[in-house]
Structure 1
Amino acid sequence: MNKIFLDIETTGLNPLKGDKIIEISCLKLINFKKLYFHHYLNPEKKISIGAYNIHGIDDSFLKNKKKFKDILFQFLNFIKNSKIIIHNAKFDLTFINSELNYLNFKNLNNYCYKIIDTLKISRNFYKKKNSLENICKRFNIDYSKRIKHSAFIDSYLLYKIYFKLILKIKKIKIINLKFKNKEKYFSNSNNVFKKSNKKESKLNNFFLKII
């Protein structure tokens, strides 16, 4: 199954108030070969000062770029039948679905196999500091090229982060398996194991949806 690591930059925070996508980047992994779908987009509206301070993309740079409708079919063809991995998927999906719905298309989940949120995965391990930058620090991933937010750079960092998280999941599964194999030797600890197994089962069901 192809995996696509997706990120966007926008004019602001709220598509319901007219904010639009100005950069979209998808890194597709096919048998560990990387393919990029990347575009800057003309939103036909002003970029807010707050958004500019985050990504550094200005109105003049986007003036002659394509609009979302111009890259729509190419985008849908690129993502079809793939798992899409996003960090803080709620934010990105709100914008992408808004763009799709405006053009009378269905939500993104209708055109791909599955959507995975690495923010939700990370929060299963770490309660705080789960931004892309903080996770890079935690896993010693080099993010020195990320001077400001960039969909192109962030989609690559997301690819690195995802596999670090998957490796962590697999390690936990191995530890849990070893723990379960020892259960038969502790006949007086049934209640402890019941609670542990219940928590483990809940986590495993969550992780099965991811991998």
Structure 2
Amino acid sequence: MREIALDTETTGLNPKSGHKVVEIGCVEMLNHIATGEVFHVYINPERDMPEEAFRVHGLSEAFLKDHPVFKKVADDFLAFIGDDPLVIHNAAFDMGFLNWELEQIGKPALDMARTIDTVQMARKKFPGAQANLDALCRRFGIDNSDRDLHGALLDARLLADVYLELMGGRQTGLGLGVEPKAETQDEIKIEKRQLREARTFAPSEDEMTAHALFIAQIEGALWKA
């Protein structure tokens, strides 16, 4: 089963207010485990970068102006995600931006029904607890020490690990997904068992006499027929 952990960075909170996507990061997963295949692009928003957004992700207008606009990367992005489920932390936000960008270049919108929202998963599994990505990394012992700033690819990688834990960890089914390591001849230890000598239980003369008397008292025994 192929799924895509996806994250974006933007110039602000609302695409209808003129804000744009500036980074997309995607991580491929098979059976909930990251494969190492990724899609990552920086995007020129063709506008300024508000200070509040810059403090979140550190992507400046000067840095982004040398990167392609969304229209130039859209086909590669769509080819990478294919028709597979999209695992997103707060899916409404990222999908809102991506579908706005796709609409501007005449591309069909992505279906919200294909998304798996890890915020909703976390709130259902841990009611009342913090459901942000940092809090979930702490809960599951996932190393996010490199996350000084938000970054779409870094966050998508962390999200893939969080999603795996939310699904039950690396052994989510009876198949376990990992075959046991085959032992080499050097690793196989053969131990010789110390066998006891067979013990005998021969009856004594008194026991034989008592047994004979007991048998004689049995009426209708088959061996007397």
Normalising by structure 2, what TM-score?
0.71
1:162 corresponding residue in structure 2: 163
Q: Where in structure 2 are there 5+ consecutive unaligned residues?
A: 173-225
Of 86, 89, 92, the residue aligned with 1:87 is: 89
Specify the alignment match of 2:22 in structure 1.
Answer: 22
Q: Quote how far apart the aligned CAs of 1:30 are.
A: 4.0
Count residues in correspondence. Answer: 168
SS in 1 for 2:168: helix
Q: Which has the larger radius of gyration?
A: 2
The equivalent residue for 2:222 is none
| Percent identity over paired residues | 39
Amino acid at match of 1:85: V
Higher share in helix: 1
Q: Name the structure 1 match of 2:187.
A: none
1:101 corresponding residue in structure 2: 103
Q: Which residue of 2 aligns with 1:70?
A: 72
Residue matched to 2:37: 35
Show CA shifts across 1:54-111 (max 9, x none).
111111100110111001111111111211100000110110010011112221128x
Alpha-carbon distance in structure 2 between the residues aligned to 1:125 and 1:73? 36
Q: Confirm or deny: 8 A CA contact 1:2 1:81 kept in the other structure.
A: no
Q: Deviation of residue 114 (structure 1)?
A: 2.0
The Cα RMSD (Å) is: 1.8
Q: Distance in 2 between matches of 1:80 and 1:109?
A: 12
Partner residue, 1:149: 150
Q: Deviation at 1:29?
A: 2.1
Report the CA distance between 1:35 and its aligned residue.
0.7
Q: Deviations over 1:3-47 (max 9, x none)?
A: 110000001111001100000001112475221110000000111
